[in-house]
Amino acid sequence: MFDIGFSELVVVALVGLIVLGPKRLPEVARTVGQWLGRVRRFVADVKQDIDREMQQAELAELRNLKRELDETRRMMEETSGKLLQEANIAATAEQATAAAASTSAAPAADPAPEPSIADLPPLTEPPRERKRSAKRRKKAAAPKPESQHDGAQ
C-alpha cells in the first residue's frame, strides 16, 4: 500500500522521540496502535458488508432468472400440451374419414382387427425371471436324496 522502508520508519521514530519525549512516546504509540486497529476492523466490516450486498444482489438476480425459466418451462409445457391435443384431434379426424372411406368402398368385407400391444396381457415378470422361477420350482419339487452321512455309521 505505502512504500515505506525501514530507514524511513527509523526517521519517523526519532522525530517522534524528539518531539514527544521518552515519557509520552509509549502512550502515544499505544493510542495510535489502538486507532489503527479500529480503522482496520472498520475497513474489514465495510468490506464484509459490501461482499454481503453483492452476494444478495447476485442471489436476487439468480432468483429472477429461475422465475423466468420456470415461466418459460410452463409456457412450453402448455404449448406442447395444446399441440398434442391438436395432433390427437387431427389424427382422430383422419381415422374417421379413412374409416368412412373404407366402409363406403368395401362394405361387405370385414377385415380382422390387427392385434395391438394394448390387447396383450401384461407381463408380471421378465421372461428370464420366469425361466429361473420355473427351474427353481422343478428343483424344489424333486425329491432330495437322503444323505449317507447320518451320523450312525
Residue 151 inside a domain? The answer is: no
| Whole-prediction pTM | 0.40
For cell 452321512, name the residue. 149
pLDDT in tens, 35-81: 999 999 999 999 999 999 999 999 999 999 999 999 999 999 999 88
User: Cα separation of 90 and 88, whole Å?
Assistant: 5
Beta-carbon contacts of 17 under 8 Å, excluding residues fewer than 6 positions away, are: 25
Domain count, the chain: 1
Residue 38 inside a domain? The answer is: yes
Residue 133 inside a domain? The answer is: no
pLDDT for 91: 82
Residue 110 inside a domain? The answer is: no
Higher pLDDT, 37 or 109: 37
Residue 85 inside a domain? The answer is: yes
Residue 125 inside a domain? The answer is: no
From residue 108, alpha-carbon distances to 96, 102, 111 in Å are 18, 11, 10
Residue 81 inside a domain? The answer is: yes
Three-state DSSP class for 2?
Answer: coil
Domain around 27:
7-93
pLDDT grade, residue 123 (50/70/90)? low
Radius of gyration of the chain (CA): 45
Residue 28 inside a domain? The answer is: yes
